[in-house]
Structure 1
Amino acid sequence: MPCILVTGGAGFIGANFVLDWLGRPDAAWDALDAAVGSPVTDHVINIDKLTYAGNRLSLDALDDDPRHRFVRADIGDRAAMDHLFERHQPRAVVHFAAESHVDRSIHGPAAFIDTNIGGTFTLLEATRAYWQALPIPDRAAFRFLHISTDEVYGSLGPTDAPFAETTAYAPNSPYSASKAASDHLVRAWHHTYGLPVLTTNCSNNYGPYQFPEKLIPLMIARALAGEPLPVYGDGQNVRDWLYVGDHCAAIRAVLARGRVGETYNVGGWNEKTNIDVVHTLCDSLDALRPRATGSYRQQIQYVKDRPGHDRRYAIDARKIERELGWRPAETFETGLRKTIAWYLDHPLWVRDVMSGAYRHWMGLQYAA
């Protein structure tokens, strides 16, 4: 059966993408399949190393779905990648696999260099070897879609224009530097070898299945546990927020209709300060799961800022709207309410990820 190969498909965005792809097969590859009269349902070969942020439970709904095959593997293992390409013959790679938490990259950058740079290089080489051996029509239809971040562009001032696809790279953390390097590798493999690549740079995602080290699920978990809600510095750092379901729709659009070799910025048009996000979240929890007394806002606690904390990110997403017709469907308020409701409805998933290792990490990060 025709298939796509997804890396990091047990992580937050990857798992949401796989669930979305198999939940709406009629939309898969609609533009590329129009020539043959009807869309094709692509199976998913889902590769994940299952580090702390990869959660097999996020894919429970697919346990009996014959269209989904999960493989525990490391993208840095060339022999494993070659075997998967040879066995499954995918017509696209969607590359999510990455270490992605800035705070962790500050404490331990080596894993970010190994996975985000070394792993992407190995995956590109395995993909290139497979792609070059394909028949010419299959080579023309093949795609390698690399999922990246807005953090590669650095930091913006309060009045600076949002990041565009032409903005110069200026990464400021080990995480963003490693992602910038992977972006450059993908671009080079296209220009040097002709590999048909696409790259997306997205803003801050939020939604179901996100590991509770990131701001929104962290605040939900700690608020419900009656614990302090740690906000870095003065809370005025600005991020653009993108609901993960909207991001999945954007990836579908880029995969189906994106121009080979191009980069597309994907944003939510929702610039918010961190403290505004926390206030909105607390107010939503007050309505959905009120405390015995008072508001969740009473649990907010300002903590020492992290090193090199970028002040503002903002995405100019006009290119993807103009060329591919994509625009986010959710406002921040509607997306956040859906997110909070999901976490309230899935306490077992939350309990599973709140492991001893996670609690150790929280103690390390917020000890001060």
Structure 2
Amino acid sequence: MRAVVTGAAGFLGSHLCAHLLAAGDTVVAVDALTDSYDVALKERNLRDLAGRPAFSFHHADLLDADLGPLLEGAHAVYHLAGEPGVRSSWGAAFELCARRNILATQTLLEAVRSRASGAFVHASSSAVYGDAGTLAPVSPYGVTKLAAEHLCELYRTAYGVPTLSLRLFSVYGPRQRPDTAFARLLAAAAGGEPFPLYGDGEQTRDFLYVRDAVTALRDAACSGFTGVADLGGGCPVSVNQAIAAVEQVTGPVKTLPRPAEPGDVRHTAADITVASRAFGFRPRTSLREGVAATAAEAGPGGVRQK
């Protein structure tokens, strides 16, 4: 297939590009290289992909670029670009979050609807859920991701764009963003800043290893499925259990207790029934296996090795 991947230089995007190339796809990668985190890390991700004959990279902002030539002949569009961050989406930062998560999605959908193409795969988030699994986000970031889902559904029903929004739960693995839980845990275990432990640590998260996530993205695109589905590890664990899993691999992790913050859901759990039936999704990587693989690439300093 000819696949277009937005947000291709990021953690999930770079893994997806590598997975698609391994499957024999041609990949048209698009990324604005924003400063949501260290741009050097994104550039390093791209260096791992550059030089492959089936890969091309385009430095472009979805809101400004001429998207037509990039989308021409695409069999699948994987829309991963966006502004991350539950805790950072409050206040003045919401404008940027809305621009990159809502307006950019609508702009891309407009460009896609006039062209015959295959699946439009939108990487949504578990942040669309509130407590007790209700569709009631408790953070501005979650509001923007749910709005983007609604846009996908609108373009599917109004214009026949074959959209699917996959609600990704806590994806982790090598090259993850430095502000994510396991990146901070590994850095703390390596002698870096203590891990900020919000609340009592008994809040639960549904962790999904990145290889399982990108496999599911391509499987979904090839399946003909449209609609919305959860993608998670299928076995929520508490933050305290996640700390223990890292300590089993690396040794002690220093923590810094902090009060719970607004926007943090107490418990998250993916219902993978739809994904399992629609495109055979089944997470295959245990938490211990995933943590060990992530730690191995991070190396003794807690950061990715060159």
The partner residue of 1:63 within 13, 29, 50 is 50
The question of whether the paired residues in 2 share the 8 Å contact of 1:242 and 1:270 is answered with no
Q: What is the aligned length?
A: 301
Which amino acid is the alignment partner of residue 81 of structure 1? Answer: L
Displacement of 1:340 after TM fit? 1.1
Equivalent residues in 2 for 1:217-366, closer than 5 Å: 217-259=183-225, 261-286=226-251, 296-297=252-253, 299-344=254-299, 349=304
Displacement of 1:346 after TM fit? 8.7
Q: Distance in 2 between matches of 1:169 and 1:199?
A: 14
Displacement of 1:347 after TM fit? 6.8
Displacement of 1:348 after TM fit? 6.9
Report SS of the residue matched to 2:202: coil
The CA RMSD measured in Å over matched residues stands at: 1.9
Note if 1:106 corresponds to 2:93: no
Report SS of the residue matched to 2:174: coil
Counterpart of 1:149?
125
Larger Cα-atom Rg: 1
Which amino acid is the alignment partner of residue 235 of structure 1? Answer: G
Which amino acid is the alignment partner of residue 206 of structure 1? Answer: Y
Q: Distance in 2 between matches of 1:227 and 1:6?
A: 34
Counterpart of 2:81?
97
The question of whether the paired residues in 2 share the 8 Å contact of 1:4 and 1:93 is answered with yes
Distance 1:348 1:339, change over 3 A: closer
Counterpart of 1:81?
67
Counterpart of 1:194?
160
Displacement of 1:304 after TM fit? 2.4
Report SS of the residue matched to 1:212: coil
Displacement of 1:268 after TM fit? 0.6
Q: Distance in 2 between matches of 1:346 and 1:229?
A: 15
**Gaps (5+ residues) in structure 2?**
none
The question of whether the paired residues in 2 share the 8 Å contact of 1:146 and 1:197 is answered with yes
Q: Distance in 2 between matches of 1:199 and 1:99?
A: 17
Q: Distance in 2 between matches of 1:337 and 1:49?
A: 31
Which amino acid is the alignment partner of residue 62 of structure 1? Answer: L
Distance 1:347 1:337, change over 3 A: closer
Q: Distance in 2 between matches of 1:153 and 1:347?
A: 31
Distance 1:123 1:350, change over 3 A: farther
Could you tell me the percent identity over the aligned residues?
A: 32
Which amino acid is the alignment partner of residue 235 of structure 2? Answer: N
Deviations 1:292-328 (A, max 9, x none): xxxx24x222112222321011011022222322201
Displacement of 1:62 after TM fit? 2.0
Note if 1:183 corresponds to 2:182: no
Counterpart of 2:101?
116
Note if 1:51 corresponds to 2:34: yes
Q: Distance in 1 between matches of 2:224 and 2:23?
A: 20
Greater helix share, 1 or 2?
A: 1
Q: Distance in 1 between matches of 2:305 and 2:232?
A: 27
Scaled by the length of structure 2, the TM-score of the pair is 0.92
The question of whether the paired residues in 2 share the 8 Å contact of 1:99 and 1:116 is answered with yes
Scaled by the length of structure 1, the TM-score of the pair is 0.77
Displacement of 1:98 after TM fit? 1.1
Q: Distance in 2 between matches of 1:189 and 1:195?
A: 6
Which amino acid is the alignment partner of residue 181 of structure 1? Answer: A
Counterpart of 1:206?
172
Q: Distance in 2 between matches of 1:275 and 1:250?
A: 28
Note if 1:7 corresponds to 2:3: no
Q: Distance in 1 between matches of 2:119 and 2:277?
A: 21
Q: After TM superposition, what 4+ stretches of structure 1 lie above 3 angstroms from structure 2? A: 345-351
Which amino acid is the alignment partner of residue 248 of structure 1? Answer: V
**Gaps (5+ residues) in structure 1?**
26-41, 132-138, 157-162, 287-295, 352-368
The question of whether the paired residues in 2 share the 8 Å contact of 1:9 and 1:48 is answered with yes
Report SS of the residue matched to 2:120: strand
Distance 1:84 1:345, change over 3 A: farther
Distance 1:49 1:345, change over 3 A: farther
Deviations 1:308-359 (A, max 9, x none): 32101101102222232220111111111111111117977479xxxxxxxx
Q: Distance in 2 between matches of 1:337 and 1:277?
A: 12
Displacement of 1:235 after TM fit? 1.2
Q: Distance in 2 between matches of 1:350 and 1:102?
A: 28
Which amino acid is the alignment partner of residue 96 of structure 1? Answer: L
